Copies of this chain bind each other. A is one copy, B any other.
Amino acid sequence: MPIDKIVPDVASAVAGMKDGDAIMISGFGFAGVPNDLIHGILDTGADDLTVISNNAGTGTEGLAALVGSGRVRRIICSYPRSRGSDQFDARYAAGEIELELVPQGTLSERMRAAGAGIGAFYTPTAVGTGLAEGKETRTIDGRDYVLEYPLHADIALVQGWRADRWGNVIYRKAARNFGPVMAMAARRTIVQVRDIAELGGLDPEAVVTPGIFVDRVVAIDSDREWDI
């Protein structure tokens, strides 16, 4: 039977969400955020979620809408507060959302470790700072390091640019950011793309996320500018 990871719509793409799931969401600022999939998650009604993303959402849609829904118990990110992060700021001030702040490079490296089967790694980032408090440290070749553990997720929502039925994905410009490493880290990876390529339509030298890391692909052919 031909491998076919393409699903017809957002509802099929996010089917199987459960309360309590940890969800990785691609994007950096407003670039590369899978807004349609995020609203798909909202529509499932899933609650008690952990969100893992670089930011915490701005404006009223996308990640901000998810955070504002009250269904996110905990967020793991590097930079929650930005111009327009009112939804997060209010929940945080009210003590309604837990925040785990992770240095940005450690955030993606922990994702890669999860995807790569690495049990833990030593990083020089954050040594001697408040973000290393309580963490194991070690001196290696005269330099100090902090021990960091893999960051797994139940689901990754990723915005790509084009994909084929095997789940091979290419991205567009700086919208690539966290997508490929989240695709490696999550147990189920769901990618929204602008359009579907024929199998063989993507250059095998230029595939960024090979299909082995992808479970479902949905095409969203829209120019909509979200309020994010």
**Complex: A158 Cα to B209 Cα, angstroms:** 24
**Complex: A120 Cα to B147 Cα, angstroms:** 9
Chain A 135-170, CB within 8 Å of chain B: the 1/0 string?
A: 000101101010001000000000000000000001
Report if A226 contacts B (CB, 8 A): no
A118-B117 in contact (CB<8A): no
With contacts A118-B122, A120-B122, A124-B119 taken as known, whether A205 is within 8 angstroms of B205 at the C-beta atoms is: no
Determine which residue in A122, A123, A143 has the highest number of CB atoms from chain B within 10 A of its CB, and name it.
Answer: A122
Chain A 202-221, CB within 8 Å of chain B: the 1/0 string?
A: 01011010000000000000
Report if A195 contacts B (CB, 8 A): no
Q: Point out the residues of chain B lying under 8 angstroms from A149, CB to CB.
A: 140
Q: Point out the residues of chain B lying under 8 angstroms from A123, CB to CB.
A: 117-119
With contacts A171-B205, A206-B203, A206-B206 taken as known, whether A121 is within 8 angstroms of B120 at the C-beta atoms is: yes
Q: Point out the residues of chain B lying under 8 angstroms from A117, CB to CB.
A: 123-124
Report if A116 contacts B (CB, 8 A): yes
Within 8 A of B (CB), among A171-191: 171-173
**Complex: A206 Cα to B138 Cα, angstroms:** 38
Residues of A participating in the B interface, judged by any CB pair closer than 8 Å: 109, 113, 116-124, 138, 140-141, 143, 145, 149, 170-173, 203, 205-206, 208
3 smallest CB-CB distances across A and B, nearest first, come from A119-B122, A206-B206, A119-B145
- Listed A/B pairs (14) with beta-carbon separation below 8 Å: A113-B121, A117-B124, A118-B121, A118-B122, A119-B122, A119-B124, A119-B138, A119-B145, A120-B122, A120-B140, A120-B145, A121-B122, A140-B149, A172-B205
